[in-house]
Amino acid sequence: MQTEMVYHLAATREFKDFGFMQAYLSFKPHLEAGRRSFGPLITIDDGTLAPGAQGFGLHPHQDVEVVTFMVDGEVSHIDPVVPVHNGTVKAKGLQVISAGTGILHNEVNNSRTMPMRALQIWFEPRSNGLMPAYSSKELETADHTNRFQLVLSPDGAEGSLVVQQEVRLSYGKFDRHGVLSFSPSSPERSLYIFMIEGEATVAGLPLSKGDGLGLLRAGDVAIEASAEAEILIFDLPNSEIS
Protein backbone atom coordinates (compact mmCIF):
# COMPACT_ATOMS: atom_id res chain seq x y z
CA MET A 1 0.00 0.00 0.00
CA GLN A 2 1.41 3.38 -1.01
CA THR A 3 1.98 5.83 1.81
CA GLU A 4 -0.27 8.92 1.68
CA MET A 5 1.65 12.17 1.95
CA VAL A 6 1.59 15.94 1.86
CA TYR A 7 4.55 17.81 0.36
CA HIS A 8 4.73 21.38 1.69
CA LEU A 9 7.15 23.73 -0.05
CA ALA A 10 8.30 26.70 2.02
CA ALA A 11 6.91 29.14 -0.53
CA THR A 12 3.36 27.91 0.18
CA ARG A 13 3.48 29.04 3.82
CA GLU A 14 1.63 32.20 4.81
CA PHE A 15 3.84 35.22 5.58
CA LYS A 16 2.88 37.66 8.33
CA ASP A 17 4.68 40.90 9.23
CA PHE A 18 3.82 41.91 12.79
CA GLY A 19 6.34 44.77 12.82
CA PHE A 20 8.42 43.41 15.67
CA MET A 21 8.34 39.92 14.10
CA GLN A 22 8.26 38.40 10.63
CA ALA A 23 6.77 34.91 10.58
CA TYR A 24 6.03 32.09 8.17
CA LEU A 25 2.99 30.04 9.15
CA SER A 26 2.80 26.36 8.19
CA PHE A 27 -0.61 25.42 9.62
CA LYS A 28 -3.69 27.57 10.33
CA PRO A 29 -7.45 26.87 10.16
CA HIS A 30 -7.95 29.45 7.39
CA LEU A 31 -5.26 28.08 5.05
CA GLU A 32 -5.94 25.83 2.08
CA ALA A 33 -6.73 22.15 2.49
CA GLY A 34 -3.62 20.25 3.53
CA ARG A 35 -2.27 23.31 5.38
CA ARG A 36 -4.73 23.41 8.28
CA SER A 37 -3.41 20.64 10.51
CA PHE A 38 -1.62 17.30 10.49
CA GLY A 39 -3.26 15.19 13.17
CA PRO A 40 -2.74 16.92 16.55
CA LEU A 41 -0.07 19.21 15.04
CA ILE A 42 -1.91 22.50 14.48
CA THR A 43 0.81 25.18 14.27
CA ILE A 44 4.42 25.65 13.18
CA ASP A 45 5.19 29.39 13.17
CA ASP A 46 8.74 30.17 12.04
CA GLY A 47 9.34 33.66 13.41
CA THR A 48 12.25 36.10 13.60
CA LEU A 49 12.00 38.79 16.28
CA ALA A 50 13.87 42.07 15.94
CA PRO A 51 16.47 43.02 18.58
CA GLY A 52 14.72 44.05 21.78
CA ALA A 53 11.28 42.98 20.48
CA GLN A 54 8.77 42.85 23.34
CA GLY A 55 6.44 40.32 21.76
CA PHE A 56 2.64 40.55 21.73
CA GLY A 57 2.39 41.70 25.33
CA LEU A 58 0.65 39.63 27.98
CA HIS A 59 -1.87 37.31 26.31
CA PRO A 60 -3.81 34.17 27.30
CA HIS A 61 -3.79 30.56 26.09
CA GLN A 62 -6.10 27.72 27.05
CA ASP A 63 -6.27 24.01 26.17
CA VAL A 64 -3.25 23.94 23.89
CA GLU A 65 0.30 22.59 24.14
CA VAL A 66 2.70 25.42 23.23
CA VAL A 67 6.24 24.37 22.33
CA THR A 68 9.01 26.86 21.53
CA PHE A 69 12.13 25.57 19.79
CA MET A 70 14.89 28.17 19.76
CA VAL A 71 16.85 28.24 16.50
CA ASP A 72 19.00 31.34 17.14
CA GLY A 73 19.24 33.89 19.94
CA GLU A 74 17.52 33.88 23.33
CA VAL A 75 13.91 34.22 24.41
CA SER A 76 12.67 35.35 27.82
CA HIS A 77 9.42 33.86 29.04
CA ILE A 78 7.31 36.06 31.34
CA ASP A 79 4.48 34.70 33.47
CA PRO A 80 3.12 37.33 35.90
CA VAL A 81 0.86 34.82 37.64
CA VAL A 82 3.35 31.99 38.29
CA PRO A 83 6.84 33.58 38.52
CA VAL A 84 8.54 30.17 38.76
CA HIS A 85 7.61 29.77 35.08
CA ASN A 86 9.78 32.77 34.15
CA GLY A 87 13.04 31.92 32.40
CA THR A 88 15.35 32.28 29.42
CA VAL A 89 15.81 29.71 26.68
CA LYS A 90 18.90 29.87 24.47
CA ALA A 91 19.54 28.62 20.93
CA LYS A 92 18.88 24.88 20.54
CA GLY A 93 16.79 25.01 23.68
CA LEU A 94 13.20 23.92 24.11
CA GLN A 95 10.27 25.23 26.16
CA VAL A 96 6.94 23.49 26.73
CA ILE A 97 3.80 25.12 28.12
CA SER A 98 0.68 23.08 28.83
CA ALA A 99 -1.89 25.88 28.84
CA GLY A 100 -4.65 23.67 30.26
CA THR A 101 -7.22 25.65 32.22
CA GLY A 102 -5.48 28.88 31.22
CA ILE A 103 -2.24 30.86 31.37
CA LEU A 104 -1.20 34.47 30.86
CA HIS A 105 2.28 35.10 29.45
CA ASN A 106 4.58 36.92 27.03
CA GLU A 107 7.80 36.03 25.21
CA VAL A 108 10.41 38.69 24.35
CA ASN A 109 13.77 38.80 22.60
CA ASN A 110 16.35 38.72 25.37
CA SER A 111 18.89 40.66 23.27
CA ARG A 112 18.77 44.34 22.35
CA THR A 113 21.40 43.88 19.62
CA MET A 114 20.66 40.55 17.94
CA PRO A 115 17.53 39.12 16.31
CA MET A 116 16.17 35.78 17.50
CA ARG A 117 14.55 33.01 15.51
CA ALA A 118 12.16 30.53 17.06
CA LEU A 119 9.67 27.91 15.98
CA GLN A 120 6.42 28.05 17.92
CA ILE A 121 4.68 24.71 17.65
CA TRP A 122 1.17 23.98 18.89
CA PHE A 123 -0.47 20.64 19.54
CA GLU A 124 -3.99 19.80 20.57
CA PRO A 125 -3.81 18.41 24.14
CA ARG A 126 -4.83 14.85 25.02
CA SER A 127 -7.79 16.37 26.88
CA ASN A 128 -9.10 19.79 27.87
CA GLY A 129 -9.00 21.27 31.35
CA LEU A 130 -5.55 20.02 32.36
CA MET A 131 -3.47 21.75 35.03
CA PRO A 132 -1.11 24.33 33.49
CA ALA A 133 2.57 23.34 33.46
CA TYR A 134 5.89 24.74 32.23
CA SER A 135 9.26 23.15 31.49
CA SER A 136 12.40 24.02 29.52
CA LYS A 137 15.67 22.40 28.55
CA GLU A 138 18.95 23.27 26.84
CA LEU A 139 20.07 20.55 24.44
CA GLU A 140 23.60 19.16 24.52
CA THR A 141 25.30 19.49 21.12
CA ALA A 142 26.70 15.96 21.11
CA ASP A 143 23.23 14.47 21.58
CA HIS A 144 21.87 15.74 18.26
CA THR A 145 24.95 16.10 16.04
CA ASN A 146 24.68 13.79 13.01
CA ARG A 147 21.88 11.90 14.72
CA PHE A 148 18.34 12.47 15.98
CA GLN A 149 17.67 13.25 19.63
CA LEU A 150 14.25 12.69 21.19
CA VAL A 151 13.37 16.07 22.73
CA LEU A 152 9.63 15.79 23.40
CA SER A 153 7.38 12.88 24.38
CA PRO A 154 4.28 12.08 26.46
CA ASP A 155 6.32 10.11 29.02
CA GLY A 156 9.65 11.95 29.29
CA ALA A 157 11.53 9.10 27.60
CA GLU A 158 15.30 9.52 27.17
CA GLY A 159 15.26 12.74 29.19
CA SER A 160 12.85 14.49 26.82
CA LEU A 161 10.40 17.16 27.95
CA VAL A 162 6.82 16.03 28.54
CA VAL A 163 3.94 17.13 26.31
CA GLN A 164 0.29 16.29 26.98
CA GLN A 165 -0.28 14.55 23.67
CA GLU A 166 0.85 11.28 22.05
CA VAL A 167 3.62 13.08 20.18
CA ARG A 168 7.33 12.33 19.97
CA LEU A 169 9.56 15.08 18.54
CA SER A 170 13.16 14.50 17.45
CA TYR A 171 15.82 17.00 16.39
CA GLY A 172 19.02 16.53 14.42
CA LYS A 173 21.77 18.87 13.21
CA PHE A 174 24.34 17.66 10.72
CA ASP A 175 27.89 18.90 10.21
CA ARG A 176 28.56 16.41 7.40
CA HIS A 177 26.62 14.53 4.76
CA GLY A 178 24.75 11.63 6.32
CA VAL A 179 22.34 8.87 5.35
CA LEU A 180 20.16 7.20 7.97
CA SER A 181 16.79 5.57 8.52
CA PHE A 182 14.14 6.88 10.90
CA SER A 183 11.36 4.68 12.24
CA PRO A 184 8.15 5.90 13.91
CA SER A 185 7.43 4.50 17.35
CA SER A 186 4.88 2.10 15.83
CA PRO A 187 4.09 1.19 12.19
CA GLU A 188 0.64 2.81 12.05
CA ARG A 189 1.93 6.21 13.17
CA SER A 190 2.57 9.19 10.91
CA LEU A 191 5.63 11.41 10.49
CA TYR A 192 5.95 15.10 9.67
CA ILE A 193 9.44 16.27 8.73
CA PHE A 194 10.24 20.01 8.91
CA MET A 195 13.46 21.53 7.57
CA ILE A 196 14.81 24.24 9.87
CA GLU A 197 17.93 24.82 7.78
CA GLY A 198 19.85 23.27 4.91
CA GLU A 199 18.82 20.53 2.55
CA ALA A 200 17.85 16.87 2.75
CA THR A 201 16.20 14.15 0.73
CA VAL A 202 13.45 12.32 2.60
CA ALA A 203 11.57 9.35 1.15
CA GLY A 204 13.13 10.31 -2.19
CA LEU A 205 11.86 13.91 -2.12
CA PRO A 206 14.11 16.99 -1.86
CA LEU A 207 13.57 19.32 1.11
CA SER A 208 15.06 22.76 1.77
CA LYS A 209 14.71 25.37 4.52
CA GLY A 210 11.06 25.78 5.50
CA ASP A 211 9.81 22.76 3.54
CA GLY A 212 7.71 20.07 5.21
CA LEU A 213 6.76 16.51 4.36
CA GLY A 214 3.94 14.58 6.01
CA LEU A 215 3.73 10.80 5.68
CA LEU A 216 0.71 8.82 6.89
CA ARG A 217 1.47 5.34 8.26
CA ALA A 218 5.05 6.18 7.38
CA GLY A 219 7.02 3.06 8.23
CA ASP A 220 10.81 3.32 8.00
CA VAL A 221 11.90 6.50 6.21
CA ALA A 222 15.24 7.04 4.47
CA ILE A 223 16.83 10.44 5.18
CA GLU A 224 19.83 11.84 3.34
CA ALA A 225 20.96 15.03 5.07
CA SER A 226 23.46 17.55 3.76
CA ALA A 227 26.08 19.26 5.89
CA GLU A 228 24.43 22.15 7.83
CA ALA A 229 20.99 20.53 7.70
CA GLU A 230 18.74 20.97 10.75
CA ILE A 231 15.66 18.78 10.89
CA LEU A 232 12.64 18.25 13.16
CA ILE A 233 10.73 14.96 12.93
CA PHE A 234 7.25 14.75 14.45
CA ASP A 235 6.14 11.19 15.29
CA LEU A 236 2.35 11.48 15.55
CA PRO A 237 -0.70 9.30 16.13
CA ASN A 238 -2.28 7.91 12.97
CA SER A 239 -3.22 11.27 11.54
CA GLU A 240 -5.59 12.92 9.12
CA ILE A 241 -4.54 15.62 6.68
CA SER A 242 -6.78 18.67 6.82
Handedness of CA 61, 164, 67, 38 (dihedral sign): negative
SS3 of 109-148: ECCCCCCEEEEEEEECCCCCCCCCEEEEEECCHHHHECCC
Q: What is the pLDDT of residue 3?
A: 57
Residue 241 banded pLDDT, cuts 50, 70, 90: confident
pLDDT in tens, 38-92: 999 999 999 999 999 999 999 999 999 999 999 999 999 999 988 888 989 999 9
pLDDT in tens, 131-185: 999 999 999 999 999 999 999 999 999 999 999 999 999 999 999 999 999 999 9
User: What average pLDDT score do residues 223-241 get?
Assistant: 93
Closest CA to 211 of 15, 26, 23, 22: 26
pTM summary value: 0.95
Contact 38, 27 (CB under 8 A): yes
Q: Work out the mean pLDDT of the chain and round it to a whole number.
A: 94
Residues above pLDDT 70, as percent of the chain: 99
